[in-house]
Structure 1
Amino acid sequence: MKEHEETVLALIAGYVDTLGFVALFGLFTAHVTGNFVLIGAEVAGVGQGVLLKLLAFPAFIVGVGSASVAAKIMKARGDAYIAAALHLWQALLLFAFFGTGLLALPIDDASSGMVLLCGVLGATAMGVQNARPKVLQKPGLPNTVMTGNVTQIVLDLVDLAHRGSHHAEGPQVLARLRATLTAMLAFAIGAVGGALAFVHLSFYGLILPIALLLLLAWPPRVARAA
């Protein structure tokens, strides 16, 4: 599963972000930019759940900070163990997101304490995933926000249309384009899956991303990679 790790993470991001959006009054758990937009709209009198979106920002920061602390603690063990620790920590936070979501049902009050806690835990979990490539200090495609990937796809397509694929940088551009398209497709599939999962399974739909994170962190895989 190691070679497909980034694709799986993109799917998880799209899945959890959309499930949280559908479940929690339009909350974005995987990135904070969308929540700033929604806060602005709600201040103008459109929408609901402004406190929920405001709390998502410090929760996201806590997720990023906790990922950094975990990476520093595990530094001596190597990158494979750091990645496994982050996957496990994110899975634990998503499990808490799952549990508080069930306790919050039926979700009809955006200011309910359990709803607020549920949203905070979801945003913290996705903050961990956002921090992962930074704390591992490895180049790679963004797997939680697709804006940059869409931009890169357009740039690469224009480059290939202009110069073709046989120039010196052609193979590199093609490889990057394939990887970027794969990540975007995985995110899109995850987004559709997350929406459908909540509609049909409520917060039980979170069992899938939790299971995927546990598979990514499976000890035998870490041992082979170490």
Structure 2
Amino acid sequence: MNDDNLLSATAGYVDTLSFVSLFGLFTAHVTGNFVLIGAAVAGYGQGIFLKLMAFPAFILGVALSSLIIRGRKPETPMRGACLLYAVQALLLLAFCISGVNLRPGFNPESWPVVACGMIGAIAMGVQNAHSRLVARPGVPNTVMTGNVTQVILDALDLCSPRVGEDVKAVARARIVKMLPAIIAFAVGATVGALAYKFLGFWALLLPTMALAWLAMRAWMHRNAVGNAVS
């Protein structure tokens, strides 16, 4: 599994886990909280404050990522990726620990729950900012709506006799690139819900280890490139 697919699976996993554990909170697809806030205002949900606080937390994650990349100015994209993977892994570990320490029967209005959700939103803010701050090939890996739309359009082009072969070739290549990320996100979402059902917040250790592995691999690649240059 390449980096994009693993990140897509991580986004689906963490977003679904936070949704089922923290009263419908989205941490990766943070704008989805607008819908839930609107529903709560009309009396169809709960945890308005929790979902509102996800926005400044998400902004903090994006700002932190920008500060790391633009402040340190890593020499290569791989070095920047290594930094952001490591930071996100640490934040997911903090998300896990804060969730495990919540008291039984916690409610969405308590500050420990709000703090827990904010840590998760910060972690996913880092992942959302990653692809915009570090130049690398790939597809968006946190929100799949755009990817699904593009795959549908490309599939229609492949089925149309009016579309030229050059356009079909581009569409085919794009589907091959995007479809695995969509599938990985869906699998991650399913596994995230099941993992929380059986493991609770300890389930967050899985994406934490995945990010730590990506950081270690990026670090090794960074050193290999540095040795080759020297």
**TM-score normalised per structure 1:** 0.94
Aligned residue pairs total 224
Gaps in structure 2 of 5+ consecutive residues: none
- Partners in 2 of 1:192 and 1:76 — Cα distance? 36
User: Does structure 1 conserve the Cα–Cα contact (< 8 Å) formed by 2:106 and 2:113?
Assistant: no
For the residue of structure 2 that corresponds to 1:26, the secondary structure is coil
| 1:85 corresponds to | 83
Gaps in structure 1 of 5+ consecutive residues: none
| 1:50 corresponds to | 48
- Partners in 1 of 2:224 and 2:165 — Cα distance? 37
Matches within 5 A, 1:99-138: 99-138=97-136
Per-residue CA deviation, residues 82-115 of structure 1 (Å, 9 max, x unaligned), is: 0010000001111110011011132431011111
For the pair 1:142 / 2:140, whether they are aligned, the reply is yes
| 2:211 corresponds to | 213
User: Does structure 2 conserve the Cα–Cα contact (< 8 Å) formed by 1:74 and 1:81?
Assistant: no
- Partners in 2 of 1:176 and 1:25 — Cα distance? 36
For the residue of structure 2 that corresponds to 1:156, the secondary structure is helix
For the residue of structure 1 that corresponds to 2:50, the secondary structure is helix
User: Does structure 1 conserve the Cα–Cα contact (< 8 Å) formed by 2:98 and 2:116?
Assistant: yes
**TM-score normalised per structure 2:** 0.92
- Partners in 2 of 1:139 and 1:216 — Cα distance? 16
User: Does structure 2 conserve the Cα–Cα contact (< 8 Å) formed by 1:164 and 1:170?
Assistant: no
For the residue of structure 1 that corresponds to 2:106, the secondary structure is coil
Deviation of 1:168 after TM superposition, in Å, equals 1.5
Deviation of 1:140 after TM superposition, in Å, equals 3.1
- Partners in 2 of 1:85 and 1:75 — Cα distance? 11
- Partners in 2 of 1:175 and 1:107 — Cα distance? 49
Corresponding letter in the other structure for 1:71: I
For the residue of structure 2 that corresponds to 1:217, the secondary structure is helix
- Partners in 2 of 1:84 and 1:152 — Cα distance? 29
| 1:18 corresponds to | 16
Q: CA RMSD in A?
A: 1.6
User: Does structure 2 conserve the Cα–Cα contact (< 8 Å) formed by 1:24 and 1:107?
Assistant: no
Deviation of 1:116 after TM superposition, in Å, equals 0.6
For the residue of structure 2 that corresponds to 1:45, the secondary structure is coil
